[in-house]
Amino acid sequence: MEVVEFSRPVGYVFDPTDCELVGFYLSKKKANQLIPGIDYFIPEYNLYGSKEPWQIWNFFKPRLGEERDDQDLYFFTKLKKKTLKGSRIDRGVGTGTWKGEDGSTEIVYNNQSIGSKKRFRYENKDSNQHGGWIMHEYSLDSSLLLPDQHNDYVVCRIRKNQLALKKNNRRKCQEVDSEKKKKNKVQEVDSEPLPLATLPARSTTTTTTTTTMVQQPLQLEDETELYSDEYAFAIR
């Protein structure tokens, strides 16, 4: 990335109209007509490359002397087709994409169409920058192109969407707080002592064991001998 040094008048703010961007700056860029300081106010840079919108913003913003976030940045860039023979434009940027939000709006000067503009927003649902950047892309009407010119150059205006960025930051903070609460809750559960094993209650009732004695009749070894003795006693 290279920015041409330029001495800007104190208090000067670059704020061209749509007609000036297309009918003056873009038309002269395509015709290779030099404009003093043009590379300072509208540097040429690939807005459909590997750099994220905020990386481009943070690099060019201080070097262009634009310290306020509500001031826009302008760039010349070339459109990049998805295929060599196709007509679809590759609008990828960084890990996201420039998502179109509306159709082309015609830019008219002196009852003549001189170009058009489209509005895009940065889309990347995995990033907290999702929806936080707006880009307007300006194209020169093909009827104003010279025979050896192509409508590949466009001029773009980039600005911050402060409301979307603040909303994303609030949502991110809420998600972080929610994760912390869940983590603390898990730690509290893990730190609780395990309950002691419950043993079955012992009975206090005394069980009395009763032993029943059964008297067994005496068994004589020889019953015949007993009867003989009784008979002998009787006849005496």
Is residue 53, in this structure, part of any structural domain at all? yes
- Residue 56 CA to residue 54 CA, distance in Å, equals 5
Quick count: other Cβ atoms within 10 Å of Cβ 66?
Answer: 17
Give the pLDDT of residue 147. Answer: 77
What's the pLDDT band for 123 if we cut at 50, 70, 90?
very high
Smallest CA-to-CA distance from 89 within 114, 118, 60, 113 is with 118
Query: Which residues are CB-contacts of 158 (< 8 A; sequence separation ≥ 6)?
Result: 47, 53, 56, 57, 72, 73, 74, 75, 133, 134, 135
The residue behind tokens 């489209």 is 118
For residue 50, give its domain range. 18-170
Give the pLDDT of residue 236. Answer: 46
Is residue 206, in this structure, part of any structural domain at all? no
Is residue 52, in this structure, part of any structural domain at all? yes
Is residue 23, in this structure, part of any structural domain at all? yes
Q: Would you say residue 58 has pLDDT above 80?
A: yes
Is residue 22, in this structure, part of any structural domain at all? yes
When mean pLDDT is compared across 57-66, 110-119, 159-168, the lowest value belongs to: 57-66
Which is more confidently placed, 25 or 165?
25
Is residue 155, in this structure, part of any structural domain at all? yes
CATH classification at residue 109:
2.170.150.80
Is residue 142, in this structure, part of any structural domain at all? yes
* β partners of residue 118: 137
For 169-210, write each residue's pLDDT tens digit.
787 676 666 666 677 766 666 666 656 555 555 555 544 444
For 6-44, write each residue's pLDDT tens digit.
566 677 788 899 999 999 999 999 988 888 888 889 999
| Domains held by the chain: number | 1
Amino acid identity for residue 48 in this structure: Y
What's the pLDDT band for 224 if we cut at 50, 70, 90?
very low
Smallest CA-to-CA distance from 108 within 14, 25, 22, 28 is with 22
Is residue 159, in this structure, part of any structural domain at all? yes
pTM score, whole prediction? 0.68
The percent of residues above 70 in pLDDT, for the chain, comes to 68
Give the pLDDT of residue 235. Answer: 44
Q: Would you say residue 231 has pLDDT above 50?
A: no
Give the pLDDT of residue 121. Answer: 96
Q: 3-class DSSP state for residue 152?
A: coil
